[in-house]
Structure formats: structure tokens, C-alpha cells
Amino acid sequence: MNTFIKHTLLLSTLTAATSAATAAPTFSCCAQTDEHEHVRADAYAPISVMNDHTHEAGGWMLSYRVMHMEMDGMRHGTDRVSSNKVFGSDGGYTVTPKDMQMTMQMLGAMYALNDKLTFMLMANYLDIEMDHRINPGMAGNMLRMANGGKHSFDTETSGIGDTKISALYKFYDHENRRAHLGLGLSLPAGSIDEKDSIPVMGVGQVNSALPVSMQHGSGTYDLLPSLTYRQQFEQWSYGVQASGVIRLEDENDEDYRLGHKFDLTGWASTNLAEWISFSSGLSYNYTGKIDGDQKHVGQGPTMAGINTVTTAYEDNTGGERIDTLLGVNLLGTSGALEGHNLGIDIRVPLWQNLNGYQLETDWTLTVGWRKAF
């Protein structure tokens, strides 16, 4: 099915669900009129869901999150493939990733100008590490020599990522049902020219530019739209959010542009006690291919009949994924911890369909703290 049609259907489903919910009869709810007085453990969405709520006029909230993602093993489309399969494909690659770990620390602040409009600022810091394997056949002989005879090498980067500013507008608020629109801008604060020591045929170890997957930002100004609907009942709640990333420029300073993104997430939470809630949900993610100049993205072989690392090719970017989500929110109810919220959730892919040859995602864990004032 055409990707645009699929996204249109998903957004139509979300709109229809929102309309049906707003037309439905209301139910009694033990929460306060304002969902953000934090009298319930399920007052927030799972910690990995951003831009999930607004605040009353003059309200502040600070947050800190740590997200860790593990990727291990290669995938082609929906099939997992071995390194040997990657080396033997399409004329052969010289290098393939084995695994990758990415940790992102996120510091956020929210402020409500009035009861309808809330502003949000988020900064982040990334640590990325990728392990590579060199083709064990003839095609990798020269590269292994440059690598001191070793069959593998690692690359690492760390630094500030892109900064995001957003405005959330609450356009519907009736008893236990709320909906708001989000519109944000991602500012290109993250580096896109990160380098590390890698082996180069006939040369040895060289401090060279790394592929796009190990850079810290997009290098472009990006639009961040979202639509969120939530409803609270006596002992449980649910929410649905559609969001996207739209690249506003044709290319960055390195002559490429990351793909557009679309996400649709739904979750339900139940209160197990005053201080704890459990949540589960599903998330669909679409990422478009990179659009880039071959000099910078790596399109084309480095020598006749021999390709370089898979991550240097735009055809090996983008795809779709469906994740299942499990989470817990803990709410401080007395003493020094009153009003503090600790969230933990894990996402595990149920299905992945990746373009070309890419590392598959194994799991993503997010832990975070939130406190409203």
C-alpha cells in the first residue's frame, strides 16, 4: 500500500476516534477537574511519549529522561540476515555493523502561558557506539591489513543533539476528555560532521567522517506537528497521539537531508494503587529514506565492484516498525516526594520492515522524572 495512503488512513482513524469519543456520554472520574494536579499515578502518558499534556495558566514542569536503545544484528526488509549474507549481496559490502548502542539524555521544561497554551523546551545529549565487522573474504583483505589484521573495529561519538521548542494548544476540554495540538521546531544544534578513527585501505587508521547514523543532529530546521487525545475514567485512562517530523530544508551543510517521520501511538493505563499505575500500548513508526549527495552520504563504490560500509548508503535507510510498549508510573504522595513522578517504560519491536540492509532494533528503555510546580 502506498505510504501516503497508509498515513492518511491512520490519521483518519485517529480523527474518527476522537470525534466518537467527544460525542460519547461522560463517565464519573475520581480525578480533579484539571488532569495535571497529579492526584493520580496515571496523570501522565508513558514516559517515552512526549508532548502528552498541557498545564493550567502559570504552571511549570521540569523533566529529565534517559533513553537507551539497543540494536543487534542485520535485517533486510522483514528478514533477519547474517553478516555473510550482507557481504555477499549486491556485489558485496566491505564492512557491516554488528551492533549499536545509543543513549540520549533529555532535559525538558514546560510553561503554561494560559489555560490553553503551553510552551515546551527540550535539549538532549547523545552517546553512540557502533561495532563493525570486516568482510572475511578477499574483498576485505586490504581493509583488515589497514586495521592491523583485526576483523572488527568500533566507532564512538558523543555530544549535544538538536534542540526542540514546541507550543501545545488545548482546543478541547470537557469533563474527563481533552485534546490538544502541538507545533514545534527542531533547531539544528547537533553536530553533523562527527569523526572517529577508522581503517582505510592502503592507508591505515584515519580520523574520518562517520555515517549519518552516528551524527548528533539532522542539520536542518524541522517541523514537529502532533495531535493528542486523552480520556480519564475512575480507575484507568487511555490516550492516542499522532506526531511527525517534517524536514523544512532540501539539504544540510553536508548536502543530504534525513527522511521525514510519522508516529502513531496508543496507550492505556490503570491505577494499581494511589502511587502506582501500569500502562501498555502499541506504536507505529515510519521513517523515510535519506536524500543526499553521493559524496557525503556514500552512494557508490569506493573501488571497482566493492562497496563500503552499509551505513554509508541512502538505500539502506528508512523503513517501518511496530512496537509494543509496557510502562510503570510511580507518584510520590507525601513528604519530600509528594508530586514527584518517576516513569519507566520499555518498547520492543513486534514487526520491522527496513529498507536495504540495516541494523534491527532490539529494545528501547526510557527512564524519567517529572515534577510540576
pLDDT in tens, 195-243: 998 888 777 888 888 889 999 999 999 999 999 999 999 899 999 999 9
Percentage of the residues of the chain whose pLDDT score is greater than 90:
65
Q: What angle do CA 216, 217, 223 make, to 5 degrees?
A: 155
Whether the Cβ atoms of residue 229 and residue 239 lie closer than 8 Å to each other: yes
Query: Given a cut of 70, is residue 308 above it in pLDDT?
Result: yes
Q: Is residue 209 left, alpha or beta, with left meaning phi > 0 and alpha meaning psi from -120 to 50?
A: beta
- What is the rounded CA–CA span in Å between residue 43 and residue 31? 9
Tell me whether strands 236-247 and 195-200 are parallel, antiparallel or unpaired.
Answer: unpaired
- pLDDT digit string, tens, across residues 175-197: 899 999 999 999 999 999 999 98
